Amino acid sequence: MASSQDQDLGEKKSKRLFLNQIDEFQGKNLAKYLSHCVVGASLEEAEEEDDNQSVDSSLIPPPKEGCYEVVGTTKAREYTKPDDVKEIIQYDNRDQLYEQLVECDVIVYDITEDPDQIDEAVWAVSELHADLEKIEKPKMFILISSCMTWAKSKPLDPDDPEIPFTEDDYRRRKPHPNFKEHISAEKTVIKLGKTNKSKLVTYVVCSGLTYGAEENIFHYLFKSAWHNVPQLQIFGNGQNVIPTIHIKDLGGVIQNVADSRPKVRYLIAKDDAQNTLEEIVRAVSAGLGTGRVKTITREEALLQRDIEQADFDMLLVNLRMDAVHVKESMRISWVSEGGLVENLPQLIKEYKDLRHLQPLRAVILGPPASGKTTVAKALCQLYKLHHITLKDVIEDELENLATKARKAESEEEEDDGSAQDAQEFLDQINDSKENNNGRIEDQFIIRFYKDKLHSMSCQNQGFILDGFPKTLEQARELFIGDEDEEPEEASKGGNYDKAIMPEFVISLEATDEFVKERVMNLPESIVTGSHNTEEGLMRRLAEFRANNTEDDTVLNYFDELEFHPERIDVVKDKSPMMKETIEKIKKIMGSPRNYGPTPEEIEEKRKAEEEERLKRETEEREERERKEAEEAAERKKRQEIWTQRLNEVKREEYELLEAQSYPLRNYLMKHVMPTLTQGLIDCCKVRPDDPIDYLAEYLFQQNPQVD
Give the model confidence (pLDDT) of 574-632 as tens digits: 888 899 999 999 999 998 888 877 677 778 888 989 999 999 999 999 999 999 999 99
**Confidence (pLDDT) at 10:** 43
Q: How many CB atoms lie within 10 A of CB 650?
A: 10
**Confidence (pLDDT) at 421:** 83
* Residue 632 shares a structural domain with residue 543: no
- DSSP secondary structure letter of residue 569: E
* Residue 338 shares a structural domain with residue 402: no
The domain in which residue 420 lies consists of 360-589
What residues contact residue 211 under an 8 Å CB cut-off, 6+ apart? 217, 218, 244, 245, 246, 247, 336, 340, 347
Where is pLDDT greater, at 550 or 216? 216
Alpha-carbon torsion angle 373, 379, 382, 388, nearest 10: -60
Please give the Cα distance from 642 to 631 (Å, whole number): 16
pLDDT tier for residue 7 given thresholds of 50, 70 and 90:
very low
| Residues 305-320, mean pLDDT to the nearest whole number | 87
Give the model confidence (pLDDT) of 232-253 as tens digits: 999 989 999 999 999 999 999 9
What residues contact residue 305 under an 8 Å CB cut-off, 6+ apart? none
Cut 0.75: pTM above it: yes
Residue 532 has pLDDT above 90, yes or no: no
Looking at 558, 589, 620, the residue that finishes a domain is 589
Q: How many CB atoms lie within 10 A of CB 14?
A: 16
**Domain presence at residue 4:** no
- Tell me if 401 sits within 8 A of 425, measured CB to CB: yes
- Tell me if 453 sits within 8 A of 500, measured CB to CB: yes
* Residue 493 shares a structural domain with residue 612: no
Q: Lowest-pLDDT range, 290-294, 333-337, 514-518?
A: 514-518
In terms of Cα–Cα distance, which of 355, 370, 372 is closest to 214?
355
**Domain presence at residue 6:** no
| b/e per residue 449-487 (b: at least 16 CB within 10 A) | bbebbeebbbebbbbbbbbbbbbbebbebbbebeeeeee
* Residue 303 shares a structural domain with residue 349: yes
Where is pLDDT greater, at 407 or 98? 98
- Tell me if 71 sits within 8 A of 104, measured CB to CB: yes
- Tell me if 196 sits within 8 A of 132, measured CB to CB: yes
| Residues 505-518, mean pLDDT to the nearest whole number | 90
Alpha-carbon torsion angle 569, 574, 578, 581, nearest 10: -40
What residues contact residue 531 under an 8 Å CB cut-off, 6+ apart? 368, 537, 540
**Confidence (pLDDT) at 123:** 96
Looking at 354, 384, 406, the residue that finishes a domain is 354
In terms of Cα–Cα distance, which of 247, 177, 239 is closest to 217?
247
The CATH number covering residue 520 comes to 3.40.50.300
**Confidence (pLDDT) at 3:** 41
* Residue 100 shares a structural domain with residue 209: yes
Give the model confidence (pLDDT) of 693-703 as tens digits: 988 888 888 87
In terms of Cα–Cα distance, which of 147, 160, 113 is closest to 318?
147
What residues contact residue 469 under an 8 Å CB cut-off, 6+ apart? 363, 475, 478, 554
Residue 415 has pLDDT above 70, yes or no: no
Q: How many CB atoms lie within 10 A of CB 112?
A: 27
**Confidence (pLDDT) at 48:** 42
Please give the Cα distance from 303 to 309 (Å, whole number): 10
The sheet carrying 69-72 orders its strands as: 87-88, 69-72, 16-19, 106-110, 139-146, 200-207, 266-269
Residue 646 has pLDDT above 90, yes or no: yes
The highest-confidence range among 50-59, 135-144, 521-530, by mean pLDDT, is 135-144
Amino acid letter, residue 224: S
| b/e per residue 525-540 (b: at least 16 CB within 10 A) | eebeeeebeeeebeeb
| Residues 199-222, mean pLDDT to the nearest whole number | 94
**Confidence (pLDDT) at 597:** 73
| Residues 452-456, mean pLDDT to the nearest whole number | 93
**Helices and strands counted in the chain (H then E):** 27, 16
**Confidence (pLDDT) at 106:** 95
**Domain presence at residue 507:** yes
Give the model confidence (pLDDT) of 93-151 as tens digits: 999 999 999 999 999 999 999 999 999 999 999 999 999 888 888 999 999 999 999 99
H helices present in 82-164, as ranges:
94-101, 117-130
| Residues 367-383, mean pLDDT to the nearest whole number | 92
Residue 337 has pLDDT above 90, yes or no: yes
Q: What are phi and psi of 462, to 5 degrees?
A: 110, -175
| Residues 460-470, mean pLDDT to the nearest whole number | 93
Q: How many CB atoms lie within 10 A of CB 59?
A: 5
Q: Write down how long the chain is.
A: 707
Q: CA–CA distance from 600 to each of 148, 302, 611, 613 (Å)?
A: 33, 20, 16, 19
Task: Please tell me the total count of domains within the chain.
Answer: 3
- Tell me if 252 sits within 8 A of 337, measured CB to CB: no
Query: What ranges make up the beta strands (E) of 238-359?
Result: 244-246, 266-269, 293-296
Q: State the Cα angle at 66 between 61 and 71, rounded to 5°.
A: 80
* Residue 115 shares a structural domain with residue 52: yes
* Residue 188 shares a structural domain with residue 69: yes
Q: CA–CA distance from 424 to each of 402, 405, 417 (Å)?
A: 11, 9, 11
Give the model confidence (pLDDT) of 556-573 as tens digits: 999 999 999 999 999 988
| Residues 50-55, mean pLDDT to the nearest whole number | 41
Give the model confidence (pLDDT) of 259-304 as tens digits: 999 999 999 999 999 999 999 999 999 999 989 999 998 888 887 7
Please give the Cα distance from 95 to 84 (Å, whole number): 26
Please give the Cα distance from 686 to 678 (Å, whole number): 12
| Residues 389-407, mean pLDDT to the nearest whole number | 88
**Confidence (pLDDT) at 266:** 95
The DSSP annotation for 628-684 comes to HHHHHHHHHHHHHHHHHHHHHHHHHHHHHHHHHHHHHHHHIIIIIHHHHHHHHHHHH
- Tell me if 385 sits within 8 A of 486, measured CB to CB: no
- Tell me if 382 sits within 8 A of 458, measured CB to CB: no
- Tell me if 253 sits within 8 A of 55, measured CB to CB: no
The highest-confidence range among 197-206, 532-541, 604-613, by mean pLDDT, is 197-206
* Residue 319 shares a structural domain with residue 372: no
Q: Lowest-pLDDT range, 499-508, 583-592, 660-669?
A: 660-669
Looking at 336, 354, 372, the residue that finishes a domain is 354
* Residue 581 shares a structural domain with residue 608: no
Q: What percent of the chain has pLDDT over 70?
A: 90
**Confidence (pLDDT) at 2:** 41
**Confidence (pLDDT) at 71:** 94
Q: How many CB atoms lie within 10 A of CB 197?
A: 13
Q: State the Cα angle at 449 between 597 and 351, rounded to 5°.
A: 40
Where is pLDDT greater, at 668 or 534? 668
**Domain presence at residue 594:** no
| Residues 402-409, mean pLDDT to the nearest whole number | 76
In terms of Cα–Cα distance, which of 166, 213, 452 is closest to 322?
166
* Residue 620 shares a structural domain with residue 473: no
Q: What are phi and psi of 60, to 5 degrees?
A: -75, 135
H helices present in 436-562, as ranges:
442-453, 456-460, 472-479, 512-520, 524-527, 534-547, 554-560
**Domain presence at residue 247:** yes
Please give the Cα distance from 577 to 85 (Å, whole number): 50
Q: Lowest-pLDDT range, 97-106, 356-365, 420-429?
A: 420-429
**Kind and range of the H or E run holding 31:** helix 25-34
Residue 45 has pLDDT above 70, yes or no: no
**Domain presence at residue 8:** no
**Domain presence at residue 197:** yes
Given phi > 0 = left and psi -120 to 50 = alpha, else beta, which region is 339?
Answer: left
**Domain presence at residue 2:** no
What residues contact residue 222 under an 8 Å CB cut-off, 6+ apart? 215, 284, 288, 348, 351
The CATH number covering residue 17 comes to 3.40.50.720
* Residue 388 shares a structural domain with residue 506: yes
**Confidence (pLDDT) at 672:** 86
Q: What is the mean pLDDT of the chain?
A: 87
* Residue 627 shares a structural domain with residue 566: no
Please give the Cα distance from 324 to 248 (Å, whole number): 18
As beta bridge partners, residue 205 has 144, 267
Please give the Cα distance from 398 to 394 (Å, whole number): 6
